Amino acid sequence: MKTVFLEICLILSILNKGFAQTIYTPDWESIDKRPIPSWFQDAKFGIFIHWGLYSVPAWSPKGTYAEWYQYWLENKTLFGNGNFKGDEIYNYHQKTYGKDFTYMDFAALFKAQDYNATEWVNLFVESGAKYAVLTTKHHDGFALWNSKEATLNHARPWNSVEIGAHKDLVDEFAKAIRKTSLKMGCYFSLKEWNNPLYAPSTMSIYVEQHLYPQLKDLITKFKPDLIWADGPDNYDEDTWKTKDFFAWLYTSSEIKDSVVINDRWAKFQGKKHGDYYTSEYSSSDKTYDKPWEECRGMGFSFGYNKHEDIEDYATPQALIHTLIKIVSQGGNLLLNIGPNAEGKIPPIMQERLLQIGKWLQVNGEAIYGTRPWKVNCQWSKGKRNWKSKEKYYVSANSILKQTVNPDPGYAVQEVFFTTKDHNLYAILTSYSHKKIKLWDIKTTSNTTIHLLGYPQALKWEQEGKNLVVYLPQLTFSEMPCEYAWTLKITNIQ
């Protein structure tokens, strides 16, 4: 009888745990206590995809965002690296499409006839990425899924099912990505430039009757692992009803336990709320109290810009060094691609992703699931305050000035560090010496050192507080990888 009673108690305990859930109330004290799903901080590398009506003209002056084409066109203004008069997009548009052709007319031309979501996703898997974030709706309000709110509030067919492609592009992407281990993210713009409700006098109607019904429709249909909000403008959290949405998302939605969200849901003062913080096209060192993510394109635009040339694109070495630096500081790299209007990823972008993937096949152990060490890097001798002269957006190639190609008198970050499972990873940005001295690393009698991708253990010696590692002298064809090389160091003090 006692045994039966204990079995009943055990069953009731299991059932109670199954039914129990955390209730989050619409206040920051409650919301900010929500645990961040661990997958995000372990992923380290994701793919951003900017694709929409702006992919039809796919043109903007170098150093500017091509996905802002509508705003540049209609406001005769321009922002970015360079000195602009402001009417560059307007003049290009008039010359190319004529004065009677509006931005809305691009909807019929966005046909996506070559779009193959499975090919996209397979490429992302080969790149070594662990998640991919698709722009489901940018600031122009055009939806890439069958959103009734998009068409209703723009008073015209304004989603990819009703015009242009006549396909649910998000649905195809979701089905393809769910066949892999990749996590699925949805970029979603809060603001809409040409929505008549998006105005100070009608913001409450916009938020309650358009924005959240549309966003909840996206969540219900596709159950994303990540929601990447953008474009809150100068409206505060009360206007956006941010706390109410967060409480619903974390408590009642179908993705309450798994979803990760960023920090761009209102005009917060500084880095405050959301599961992780974001930055873009920056190069400064970062230390945050939460996971974080740097997003950037391979060139200077998120949307495809056919005006950019080869020198505007980051080299594979620069992209890999960028990834390493960000991961050493505890962040993720969200690297953007911009497909063309037909749905093809430009070959140079495909090549860069494959080059990163090839490097990660050898060195992924030092990237995925790692955490920062006591220091993130080791500097050479020289000044450490090099700054890019680029006006607003720092190119990915600028990191090479900080790793392998310094200006006279400046130091470089010659080693980046990560750690995992009691192992220390020292990632070298160059392989030009017979030995490398790693500062302030104390070994033990059980320490071993390997070069990832090379079969033999390396020779080393302790030199006071420092560790000297002798590198194998290899021919180019014998090198395990290109661009950066990882020392795996075990059992240090």
Which CATH number characterizes residue 62's domain? Answer: 3.20.20.80
Residue 404 is assigned to a structural domain of this protein: yes
| CA distances (Å), origin 141, targets 127, 150, 355, 358 | 30, 7, 34, 37
What is the per-residue pLDDT for 14? 43
pLDDT (mean) for 402-424: 97
pLDDT beyond 50 at 44: yes
Asked if 336 and 236 sit in the same domain, the reply is yes
Residue 5 is assigned to a structural domain of this protein: no
Residue 15 is assigned to a structural domain of this protein: no
What is the per-residue pLDDT for 39? 98
Domain closes at, from 346, 366, 386: 366
pLDDT beyond 80 at 24: yes
Asked if 174 and 66 sit in the same domain, the reply is yes
CA distance 107 to 168: 14
pLDDT beyond 70 at 11: no
Asked if 396 and 310 sit in the same domain, the reply is no
Residue 474 is assigned to a structural domain of this protein: yes
Domain closes at, from 325, 342, 366: 366
CA distance 363 to 110: 39
Q: Return all residues near 83 (Cβ < 8 A) that are at least 6 apart.
A: none
Residue 132 is assigned to a structural domain of this protein: yes
pLDDT beyond 50 at 256: yes
pLDDT (mean) for 325-335: 97
Residue 292 is assigned to a structural domain of this protein: yes
pLDDT classification of 2: cutoffs 50, 70, 90: very low
Asked if 204 and 241 sit in the same domain, the reply is yes
Q: What percent of the chain has pLDDT over 70?
A: 96
CA distance 266 to 271: 11
Phi then psi for residue 332, to 5 deg, are: -110, 150
pLDDT classification of 7: cutoffs 50, 70, 90: low
Asked if 291 and 334 sit in the same domain, the reply is yes
pLDDT classification of 35: cutoffs 50, 70, 90: very high
pLDDT beyond 60 at 294: yes
Q: What is the mean pLDDT of the chain?
A: 94
How big is the chain by its Cα radius of gyration, in Å? 25
Asked if 284 and 346 sit in the same domain, the reply is yes
Asked if 326 and 453 sit in the same domain, the reply is no
Q: Which residues of 185-207 are buried (b: 16+ CB within 10 A; e: fewer)?
A: bbbbbbbbbbbebbeeeebeebb
Asked if 41 and 113 sit in the same domain, the reply is yes
Tokens for 282, please give them: 């920056």
Tokens for 60, please give them: 């903007």
Question: How would you classify residue 187: left for phi > 0, otherwise alpha for psi between -120 and 50, otherwise beta?
Answer: beta
pLDDT classification of 59: cutoffs 50, 70, 90: very high
What is the per-residue pLDDT for 272? 86
Residue 72 is assigned to a structural domain of this protein: yes
Could you give the number of structural domains in the chain? 2
Q: Minimal CA–CA distance to 246: which of 6, 29, 71?
A: 29
Asked if 439 and 473 sit in the same domain, the reply is yes
End-to-end CA distance of the chain: 55
- Which CATH number fits the domain that encloses residue 485? 2.60.40.1180
Q: Minimal CA–CA distance to 228: which of 157, 136, 112, 353?
A: 136
What is the per-residue pLDDT for 20? 58
Tokens for 130, please give them: 């662990």
Asked if 230 and 259 sit in the same domain, the reply is yes
Measured CA angle at 411 (ends 487, 408), to 5 deg: 135
CB atoms closer than 10 angstroms to residue 379: 16
Asked if 322 and 390 sit in the same domain, the reply is no
Residue 22 is assigned to a structural domain of this protein: no
CA distance 147 to 448: 57
Domain closes at, from 366, 397, 416: 366
Block residue for tokens 């490097």: 359
Measured CA angle at 72 (ends 322, 295), to 5 deg: 15
Asked if 189 and 298 sit in the same domain, the reply is yes
Q: Minimal CA–CA distance to 272: which of 249, 289, 258, 251?
A: 289
Query: The domain containing residue 87 runs over which residues?
Result: 28-366
Phi then psi for residue 304, to 5 deg, are: -55, 130
pLDDT one-digit tens code per residue, 108-156: 999 999 999 999 999 999 999 999 999 999 999 999 999 999 999 999 9
Name the packing angle between helices 212-222 and 169-177 (round to 10°).
40
